[in-house]
Amino acid sequence: MSQKTVPVLMASIAVLFIALVVIIAVMLNTQERKSARESRVVAVRTLLALRALNGTTDIRKVNLTRITSFISAPAEHGGSLDNLNHYLSKDPGRRNFSRRVDRKRAEEYLAGDVGESALVYTRALDGRGYPGWVPEYAGTVRALFEEVVADIVTISGIPEELTTLPVSEFREPSAVSRVEEALLEFGTTWVPKGETNLTYDTDRREVRDFLLGNRRFLLRLESMDHAWRTMNSALYNLSIHPGWKMAVDYDPDLERELNEAITVFLTADLNRRTRDLMGLIPGEPSNLGILWLPEMSYYKNIPEITGQTADEVSTIYFAKVNLGYKFRDSRTQTWLNRRKDWLTDYFQVFFSNKVIEDFSPLGSEPMEYYQWKTARMKAEGIHGINQRIIATLPFGKKGVFGVRDLAMVRVNLLENP
C-alpha cells in the first residue's frame, strides 16, 4: 500500500464515520422520537411532581402529591376537621370567641349550609331543660361534624351497604380511585426510552418496572401513607377532646357516629393495601400490579384462640392473629406487650361474635365487595384496641399511632356434626 493510499483511506473512513453520526443524530431527532421524549417528560412530571398542579380539576391529571393533599385536607388549616377542632377550642359558655381573629374565622366556616344546619340542630335541642348555652354549642358541633363525615366517606369510597353514615349518590372519586386514575393517565402517556408513540402500546409490565424502580414514586407513596396515618390520628384525638366530650354529654349519638367514622376510615386504609394501584391499566393483573405496603412491626404474642362463632349451627373456630403498628412505634409496642392476657380475651369475644359469612364470600358476592367486608371486620377489631390506647396515649405525638393492621395469620372453621 503506497504512502498516498493511507491518507485517502483514513479520510474515507472519517467521512463514513461522520455520515453515520449524522444519520444516527437525524434518526434520534425525528419528530416521532421528539414526541416520545415529550410524552415521557409530561407523564413523569404530572404524576410525580413535588407540588400539586395548580388549576387542575380533571382527576386524570392529578398527581400523587395532590391526592395526598386530598386525603389530609380535612385536618389541614381550614379543613372540616380543623374547623371543628377550632370551634371546640371556644369557651362553650360564651356565644362567641373572645379574640376577633377567631370570631372572624368562625363566621366564615359557619356561613352557608353549615350555619343553617347548626340553626336546625340548635332549635331541636331547645326546650329540653339544658343550660342556655348548650343548644347552640351542641347543635353547631353536630353541624360541623357532618362536614367531617362527608369528607371521610368521600375519601374512603366505602360501599354504602357497609356503613351507617350517610353516603351521597354523587360523591367525588375516592382517594384510591384517584390514584388508579392518575396511574392510568401515566401509563397511557408515558413512553419508554428507545420507543416512540408509533412503536409502543401501553405495557403493564413496562409501566410497573419503571415505577417500582423510581425513587420519587416510592417517596410519594410513603407521603400518602403518612397522610392516611395523620388523618386517622386526628380522628382519634377528636374523641378525647374535652370540648367534644362535652358535646357528647348532650348529644350521645355523636360518640357512636365518630366511632363509625373512624371505623370507615380504618376500613378504607386497610382496603387500599389490597388494591392493585394499576388496576385500571390494561394487562394481566396477576403478579404484575403494585400493592404498596407501609413498613410495619408486628406484635405476635397473642396465642391461638379457640371458640364458637355466632352461627345458628355451632361452628368451632381456630384463629391466630398478629397486630401491625408503625415501624419503631415503641410506645404502642409497649402498650400491647403489657396487655397480652387482655388481648387474648378481647379476640376471644371478637371472633365469637362473627359468623361463617364474615370469613368467606357469598356465591353472588363480588370479590371487591368481599375485600371491603374483610377490611371492615379487621377495622372493627383494630378500633376496639385503639379506643383503649388513645385513652392514655394521644396519637401523632411522640411517634404513637396505635394499631394499623390486623393480620389474620390463620382462621380455621370446623362445623359441628
Q: Are residues 274 and 185 in the same domain?
A: yes
CB 61, CB 45: distance < 8 Å: no
Q: Are residues 251 and 327 in the same domain?
A: no
Picking from 292, 316, 342, the residue at the C-terminal end of a domain is 292
Picking from 292, 307, 337, the residue at the C-terminal end of a domain is 292
CB 355, CB 310: distance < 8 Å: yes
CATH number of the structural domain spanning residue 401: 3.30.479
Q: How distant is the alpha carbon of residue 345 from its chain centre?
A: 30
Identify the pLDDT of residue 57.
Answer: 46
Q: Are residues 224 and 340 in the same domain?
A: no
Identify the pLDDT of residue 82.
Answer: 98
Q: Are residues 404 and 264 in the same domain?
A: no
Q: For residue 401, which of 353, 330, 314, 341 has the smallest C-alpha distance?
A: 330
CB 327, CB 405: distance < 8 Å: no
> What is the grid cell recorded at 162?
357497609
Phi/psi at 315 (5° precision): -130, 130
For 322, counting Cβ atoms within 10 Å of its Cβ (0-12 exposed, 13-18 middle, 19+ buried), the class is: middle
Q: Are residues 278 and 145 in the same domain?
A: yes
Q: Are residues 136 and 236 in the same domain?
A: yes
Query: What CA dihedral angle connects 399, 266, 218 and 157, to 10 degrees?
Result: -150
- Cα 14 from Cα 20, distance rounded (Å): 10
**Packing angle between helix 330-337 and helix 340-352, nearest 10 degrees?**
80
Identify residue 344 by its one-letter amino acid code: T
- Cα 85 from Cα 69, distance rounded (Å): 19
Q: Are residues 218 and 314 in the same domain?
A: no
Summary count for the chain: helices (H), strands (E): 15, 4
Picking from 292, 321, 353, the residue at the C-terminal end of a domain is 292
CB 311, CB 217: distance < 8 Å: no
- Cα 296 from Cα 332, distance rounded (Å): 12
Range of the domain at 258: 1-292
Q: Are residues 133 and 261 in the same domain?
A: yes
Q: Are residues 85 and 125 in the same domain?
A: yes
Q: Are residues 381 and 268 in the same domain?
A: no
Q: Are residues 167 and 266 in the same domain?
A: yes
**Packing angle between helix 367-390 and helix 340-352, nearest 10 degrees?**
140
Q: Strand, coil or helix: what is 416?
A: coil
Identify the pLDDT of residue 357.
Answer: 87
Q: Are residues 118 and 191 in the same domain?
A: yes
Q: For residue 144, which of 103, 116, 169 has the smallest C-alpha distance?
A: 116
What tens-digit pLDDT sequence spans the chain (417 residues)? Answer: 555 565 656 666 765 666 565 555 555 557 778 888 888 999 999 999 887 554 444 444 579 999 999 999 999 999 999 999 999 999 998 989 999 999 999 999 999 999 999 999 999 998 788 888 999 999 999 999 999 999 999 999 999 999 999 998 888 899 999 999 999 999 999 999 888 888 888 899 999 999 999 999 999 999 999 999 999 999 999 999 999 999 999 999 999 999 999 999 999 999 999 999 999 998 876 678 999 899 999 999 999 999 999 988 878 999 999 999 999 999 999 999 999 999 999 999 999 999 988 888 877 778 899 999 999 999 999 999 999 999 999 999 899 999 999 999 888 888 766
The number of folded domains in the chain is 2
